[in-house]
């Protein structure tokens, strides 16, 4: 029902994640998306100079479930255990606009025509905002993968980008969902155990402390930012009602009409400020909450490998004592050690680049948010002063 | 009150209904009169006071039948406190007849009265005989028109400030300083400062209302009572909500006084002058909700409501019908607007709270961030958000005091305007009643002509003359009140437009200020954000 085409430039500006590589050999974006009832169909557009792809430029339609499939397969790949896996995009959430639409439908008889039209406009704007947000989030996910030297070569990723037939990703059935849920629970229990494991490497020790603390703080900040932007939206809504009420008294005299203009304008501005704030700050915080979680997952995997390594050492010692299965134990131990070393090495690289990326992203977004706030405030001031002049001269 | 409503449904003739109501009112008034006499006689000293109380009763009455009937209450007492007036009446019609006789003898209740209080000031609006009543009515509009021209030289400033708590516990009350600065000659000094408490304001309003409302003047309504608010203050809670309550009330009292003196007739009223100037003011006990006068007010209100339902006026003047409809619409719109603005105030306060909590959270995030520049930037962000939170709070205050309270005031004012239209309706009804009476008297006379009873005939002729006079007076009253209302409504509308415009401009300026502050804060933050390396 709703389709959206956007300037890819604008979208890049709005992205919360930053591509540090600036590599043009594989460029992905989502220029178009269609929304039908609950399902959103994204058009994934790829431009590439790599030979591993069949064509230099192509587009495929994809749905949210297929993104999730891609994410899960990458997570489950052993090889990538030492890498921070970009967090999966959240499911498109049209709950807000849908509720509003419901309210609109119910209240249709009791509202005046102007009120109805206005609410409908509001509803459409909100719908559009949610839509843009979800497109952006999916796009960022793909861009993270494409900018990573290892992920971009992933076979599944290439299939995702290229295969123009339906991937027929079947939804996880109940058993798998339950299995996944159970796995998560085990993981968190394990996390607790593993945080007790003695850490040899100072770098990782520091990272662990930092990430654990930071993750809880950023989750809190993200929640508070959401509340703040919601209040701001409420204030904007109120201005909407006020201007509606003023409209009906405007028939009385001239000044009331001018009142209406200025208040309407105010309302639009408040709305814009609220949604820009929302997009920049809240999204930034939300995204990094998820990203930090991914980093924590990496640490977890490494700690698991460390535990495995220690276990294998113990097993080797025991085998040596017992005098049997020594070769097997040695082999096991060597593997564990290898795995652990690999994880540690790539983990260190990943975490360092993660920090750099995070700092740059924060910087970009904070700057953009501040500049937008200033721009809107200046607009408000000039509009308000204009209205004051009109009223004064009347 | 519900039984009165039932009466309304059951009775066929409206006239009969009104008379029945009048009987009920009279009964209850008599009871209350006795009650309050006993009670207030104890509280106040001197016969002057008791008379004053009765005057108050009378002056508080607005329905014409009541006025007529109360004459009966008054006259006995003016001859000396009568022990036991007849409590039970058998025939309503007889009652009526009795009342009309008394009316011709005693007239004090028919004038705008200078009400209770040992006020020595004699003013042009003093109680006088019926004959000069016409003067009173005729004089004021001319005077007022003079005042209209002099409005440009309107120079009076009133401020209500320094709320002080006096007393302890449940008997405590707040006292406000009322400072009047003026160059007008009717005031004795250039600058007067007096101390007043809330019930004094209410007392002033009730006096003004009783004097002027039935003439069609729009008397600004006093701020509303609030049991909850005052109890908190009395109990001595020094918390934010009771401070806010006192501030809200102080501001409302100031606006009330300013609006009252803006009205040219009210400005010259001796009660208003006394209120603003004299250092001691008799305590207005009648404003208490549970006093005799309070209950009487409630009874009257119910009677008025029923009256409104029953009086069917033949509107000959389209202007009035149009205006009434306009005011109905305006009432609805203002109420809706007021509700929206109140919701805005509430949400903005919420926004301020949420911004503050976000600021704290951002500060903690900044602390935990290990990249130094980013950490510093986040802490700065937290500070900016804190300042913005304060801005939001201030803006909420402005939202409230400028817009929301103004709207509330106007909603109440419109009720007063509607009341004035109702007064006109009552005046018309009175006129109609007088005409009906006249007709009846004429019929009675005609009958007596044939019955050949010379003395009764003479009496009948006298009555006819008297009622002819009343009819004329009624018509004159009606014309006068219509004229007054036209003028008042014109003034009201002019004032409304001006008021709203002034307030809107002030509000927009406050918004501009807020936005400019925000620009300042964000511009200070920008280099910090850019400094993240």
* Nearest in space to B57 (alpha carbons), one of B47, B69, B44: B69
Give the pLDDT of chain A (394 residues) as one tens digit per residue.
444 433 333 333 345 555 555 567 888 888 888 877 777 888 888 888 888 888 888 888 888 888 998 998 898 888 888 888 888 888 888 777 777 788 777 877 766 777 778 778 878 887 887 888 888 889 889 988 888 888 888 888 888 888 877 776 665 566 666 766 776 776 666 666 656 666 777 888 888 888 888 888 888 988 988 888 888 878 877 777 777 677 666 555 555 555 656 666 666 666 666 666 666 788 888 888 888 888 888 888 888 888 888 888 888 888 888 887 788 888 888 888 888 888 888 888 888 888 888 888 888 888 888 888 888 888 888 888 887 887 777 6
CB contact under 8 A, A381 and B516: yes
How many other C-beta atoms lie within 10 A of the C-beta of residue B47? Answer: 11
Q: Where are the alpha helices (DSSP H) in B369-453?
A: 372-398, 405-451
Q: Which residues contact A7 (CB under 8 A, 6 or more apart)?
A: none
Residue pointed to by tokens 């976000």: B358
Which residues of B fall within a CB distance of 8 Å from A266?
511
**Helix (H/G/I), strand (E/B), else coil: B526:** helix
The structure tokens listed for A265 are 């304008």
Only one residue has tokens 């705008």, namely B112
C-alpha to C-alpha distance for B511 and B515, rounded to whole angstroms? 6
Q: Sort strands A2-5 and A26-36 into parallel, antiparallel or unpaired.
A: antiparallel
The bridge status of strand B156-166 relative to strand A57-63 is: unpaired
Backbone angles phi, psi at A59, to 5 degrees: -135, 145
Please list, residue by residue across A108-145, b when 16 or more beta carbons sit within 10 angstroms of its beta carbon and e when fewer do.
eeeeeeebeebbeebbeebbebbbbbbbbbbbbbbbbb
What integer pLDDT is reported at residue B520 of this predicted model?
Answer: 92
Which chain B residues have a beta carbon less than 8 Å from that of A391? 501, 504-505, 508
What is the token pair recorded at B162? Answer: 């320094």
- Most A CBs within 10 A among B325, B327, B335, B340, hence the mutation to make, goes to B340
Average pLDDT over chain B reads 72
Contact B529 A387 (CB under 8 A): no
DSSP state, B167? S
Which of these, B64, B130, B111, B128, lies nearest to B211 by C-alpha position?
Answer: B111
d(CA B14, CA A153): 95
Mapped onto helix, strand or coil, the DSSP state of residue B128 is coil
User: Does residue B325 sit at the A interface (CB-CB below 8 Å)?
Assistant: no
Q: How far apart are CA B448 and CA B442, in angstroms?
A: 10
Distance of alpha carbon B212 from the chain centroid? 11
Q: Cα separation of B399 and B351, whole Å? A: 14
Return the ∠ at Cα B497 (arms to B491 and B500), rounded to 5°.
Answer: 130
Write out the H or E segment, with its range, that includes residue B164: strand B156-166
Per-residue model confidence as pLDDT tens digits over B104-131? 333 333 333 333 333 333 333 333 333 3
> What pLDDT shows up at residue B523?
92
Inter-chain contact B361–A221, Cβ cutoff 8 Å?
yes
Assess B356–A contact: CB distance below 8 Å, yes or no: no
In percent, the amount of chain B with pLDDT more than 90 equals: 2
A246 to B355: CB separation less than 8 angstroms, yes or no: no
Residue B274 has pLDDT above 60, yes or no: yes
Nearest to A241 among B340, B358, B523 (CB): B340
Q: How many CB pairs under 8 A join A and B?
A: 148
Q: Which of B334, B365, B517 is the best substitution to test chain A (most A C-beta atoms within 10 A)?
A: B365
Give, in words, the CATH class of A228-394.
mainly alpha
Which is higher by pLDDT, A39 or B1? A39
Query: Which residues of chain A does B522 touch, with a Cβ-Cβ cutoff of 8 Å?
Result: 370, 373-374, 377
Inter-chain contact B530–A362, Cβ cutoff 8 Å?
no
pLDDT score of B32 more than 50:
yes
The radius of gyration of chain A's CA atoms, rounded to the nearest angstrom, is 26
The domains located in chain B, with CATH, are: 332-532 (1.20.1270.60)
Among A44-58, B93-107, B287-301, the minimum mean pLDDT is found in B93-107
Q: Mutation target for B interface from A18, A217, A219: give the one with most B CBs within 10 A.
A: A217
Cα–Cα distance for residue pair A355/B370, rounded to 1 Å: 10
Q: Cβ B526–A246 below 8 Å, yes or no? A: no
Does A228 sit within 8 Å of B497, measured CB to CB? Answer: no
Distance from CA of B244 to the nearest CA of A (A): 22
Which of chain B's residues have a Cβ under 8 Å away from the Cβ of A234?
Answer: 347, 350-351
What would the mean pLDDT of B271-279 be, rounded to a whole number?
85
Query: Which residues, 6 or more positions from A199, have their beta carbon under 8 angstroms from its beta carbon?
Result: A205, A208, A303, A306
Q: Residue A370: which of B361, B368, B525 has the nearest Cβ?
A: B525
Name chain B contacts of A371, Cβ cutoff 8 Å. Answer: 526
- pLDDT computed for residue B155 by the predictor: 76
Beta strands A2-5 and B173-182, pairing class: unpaired
Question: What is the radius of gyration, based on Cα positions, of chain B?
Answer: 29
pTM recorded for the entire structure? 0.71
Q: What are the chain B neighbours of A223 within 8 Å (beta carbons)?
A: 361
The sheet that has A2-5: what strands, in order across it? A2-5, A26-36, A39-48, A57-63
| Cβ–Cβ below 8 Å for A359 and B371 | yes
Q: State the Cα–Cα distance between residues B140 and B265, nearest whole angstrom.
A: 8
User: B44 pLDDT exceeds 50?
Assistant: no
Least confident of A248-262, B7-21, B69-83: B69-83
Task: State the Cα angle at A387 between A385 and A391, rounded to 5°.
Answer: 115
Q: Please write the tens of the pLDDT for every residue from B207-253.
A: 888 888 888 888 888 888 877 777 777 776 667 777 888 888 888 89
Kindly determine whether residue B522 and residue A374, on different chains, have CB atoms separated by under 8 Å: yes
Place of tokens 């009434």: B324
- Between CA A290 and CA A268 the distance in angstroms is 32
Q: Which secondary-structure segment (H or E) carries A320? A: helix A283-322
Provide φ and ψ at B118, rounded to 5°. Answer: -80, 55
Both structure tokens of B472: 């004329």
C-beta atoms of B333 and A245 within 8 A: yes
Which phi and psi (to 5°) does residue A103 adopt? -60, -40
User: What DSSP character marks residue B283?
Assistant: -
Equal fold, A1-90+131-165 vs A228-394? no
Closest-CA residue in chain A for B346? A235
Domain parsing of chain A, residue ranges: 1-90+131-165, 228-394
Chain B environment of A214 (Cβ under 8 Å): 365, 368-369
ipTM for the whole complex: 0.81
Rounded Cα gap, residues B375 and B61, in angstroms: 73
Comparing A45-49, B33-37, B380-384, B526-530, the range with the smallest average pLDDT is B33-37
What does the pLDDT read at residue A256?
55
Which candidate from B330, B351, B505 shows the least CB-CB separation from A228? B351
CATH of domain A1-90+131-165: 3.30.1520.10
Cα–Cα nearest to A365, from A292, A285, A290? A285
Among the ranges given (A223-237, B129-143, B503-517), the one the predictor scored with the smallest mean pLDDT: B129-143
pLDDT of residue A270: 67
Task: Answer whether A235 sits within 8 Å of B368, measured CB to CB.
Answer: no
């Amino acid at each position: 029902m709703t389709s959206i085409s956007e300037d890819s430039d604008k979208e890049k500006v709005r992205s919360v994640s930053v591509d540090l590589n600036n590599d043009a050999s594989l460029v992905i974006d989502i220029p178009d998306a269609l929304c039908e009832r609950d399902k959103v169909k994204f058009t994934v557009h790829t431009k590439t100079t790599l030979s591993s792809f069949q064509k230099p430029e192509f587009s495929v339609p994809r749905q949210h479930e297929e993104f999730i499939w891609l994410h899960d397969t990458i997570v489950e790949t052993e090889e990538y255990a030492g890498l921070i896996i970009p967090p999966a995009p959240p499911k498109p959430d049209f709950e807000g606009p849908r509720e509003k639409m419901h309210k609109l439908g119910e209240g249709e008889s009791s509202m005046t025509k102007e009120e109805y039209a206005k609410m409908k406009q509001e509803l459409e704007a909100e719908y559009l905002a949610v839509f843009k947000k979800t497109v952006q989030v999916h796009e960022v996910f793909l861009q993270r993968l494409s900018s990573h030297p290892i992920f971009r070569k992933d076979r599944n990723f290439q299939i995702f980008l290229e295969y123009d037939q339906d991937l027929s990703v079947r939804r996880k059935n109940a058993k798998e969902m339950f299995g996944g849920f159970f796995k998560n629970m085990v993981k968190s229990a394990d996390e607790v155990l593993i945080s007790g494991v003695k850490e040899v490497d100072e770098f990782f020790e520091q990272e662990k402390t930092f990430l654990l603390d930071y993750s809880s703080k950023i989750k809190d900040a993200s929640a508070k930012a959401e509340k703040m932007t919601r209040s701001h939206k409420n204030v904007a809504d109120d201005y909407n009602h006020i201007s509606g009420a003023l409209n009906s008294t405007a028939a009385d005299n001239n000044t009331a009409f001018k009142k209406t203009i200025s208040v309407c304008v105010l309302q639009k501005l408040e709305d814009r400020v609220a949604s820009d704030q929302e997009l920049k700050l809240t999204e930034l915080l939300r995204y990094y909450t998820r990203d930090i979680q991914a980093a924590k997952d990496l640490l977890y995997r490494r700690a698991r490998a460390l535990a495995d390594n220690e276990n294998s050492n113990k097993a080797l010692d025991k085998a040596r004592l017992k005098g049997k299965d020594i070769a097997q134990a040695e082999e096991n131990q060597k593997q564990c050690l290898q795995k652990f070393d690999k994880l540690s090495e790539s983990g260190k690289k990943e975490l360092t680049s993660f920090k750099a990326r995070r700092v740059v992203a924060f910087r970009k977004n904070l700057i953009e948010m501040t500049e937008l706030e200033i721009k809107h405030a200046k607009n408000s001031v000039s509009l308000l002063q204009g209205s004051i002049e009109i009223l004064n001269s009347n | 009150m519900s039984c009165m409503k039932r009466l309304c449904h059951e009775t066929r003739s409206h006239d009969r209904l009104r008379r029945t109501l009048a009987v009920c009112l009279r009964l209850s008034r008599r009871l209350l009169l006795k009650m309050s006499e006993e009670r207030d006689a104890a509280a106040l000293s001197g016969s002057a006071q008791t008379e004053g109380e009765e005057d108050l009763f009378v002056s508080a009455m607005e329905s014409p039948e009541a006025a007529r009937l109360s004459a009966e209450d008054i006259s006995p007492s003016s001859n000396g406190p009568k022990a036991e007036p007849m409590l039970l009446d058998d025939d309503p019609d007889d009652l009526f007849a009795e009342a009309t006789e008394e009316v011709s003898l005693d007239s004090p209740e028919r004038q705008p009265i200078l009400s209770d209080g040992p006020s020595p000031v004699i003013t042009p609006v003093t109680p006088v005989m019926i004959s000069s009543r016409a003067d009173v009515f005729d004089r004021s509009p001319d005077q007022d028109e003079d005042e209209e021209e002099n409005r440009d030289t309107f120079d009076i400033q009133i401020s209500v400030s320094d709320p002080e708590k006096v007393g302890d516990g449940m008997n405590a009350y707040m006292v406000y300083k009322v400072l009047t600065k003026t160059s007008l000659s009717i005031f004795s000094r250039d600058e007067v400062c007096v101390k007043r408490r809330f019930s004094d304001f209410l007392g002033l309003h009730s006096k003004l209302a009783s004097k002027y409302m039935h003439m069609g003047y729009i008397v600004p309504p006093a701020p509303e009572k609030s049991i909850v608010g005052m109890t908190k203050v009395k109990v001595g809670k020094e918390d934010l909500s009771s401070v806010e309550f006192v501030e809200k009330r102080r501001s409302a009292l100031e606006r009330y006084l300013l609006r009252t003196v803006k009205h040219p007739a009210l400005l010259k009223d001796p009660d208003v002058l006394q209120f603003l100037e004299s250092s001691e003011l008799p305590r207005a006990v009648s404003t208490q909700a549970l006093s005799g006068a309070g209950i009487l007010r409630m009874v009257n209100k119910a009677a008025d409501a029923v009256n409104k339902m029953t009086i069917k006026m033949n509107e000959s003047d389209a202007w009035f019908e149009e205006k009434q409809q306009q005011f109905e619409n305006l009432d609805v719109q203002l109420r809706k607007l007021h509700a929206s603005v109140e919701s805005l105030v509430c949400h903005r306060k919420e926004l301020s709270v949420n911004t503050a909590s976000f600021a704290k959270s951002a500060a903690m995030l900044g602390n935990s961030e290990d990249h130094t520049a980013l950490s510093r930037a986040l802490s700065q962000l937290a500070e900016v958000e804190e300042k913005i939170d304060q801005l939001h709070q201030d803006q909420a205050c402005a939202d409230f005091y400028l817009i929301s309270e103004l709207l509330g005031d106007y909603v109440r004012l419109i009720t007063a305007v509607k009341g004035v239209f109702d007064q006109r309706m009552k005046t018309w009804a009175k006129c109609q009643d007088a005409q009906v009476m006249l007709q009846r008297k004429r019929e009675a006379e005609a009958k007596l002509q044939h019955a050949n009873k010379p003395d009764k005939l003479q009496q009948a002729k006298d009555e006819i003359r008297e009622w002819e006079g009343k009819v004329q007076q009624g018509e004159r009253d009606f014309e006068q009140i219509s004229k007054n209302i036209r003028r008042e409504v014109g003034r009201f509308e002019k004032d409304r437009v001006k008021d709203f415009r002034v307030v809107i401009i002030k509000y927009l300026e406050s918004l501009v200020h807020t936005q400019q502050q925000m620009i300042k804060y964000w511009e200070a933050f920008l280099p910090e954000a850019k400094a993240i390396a």
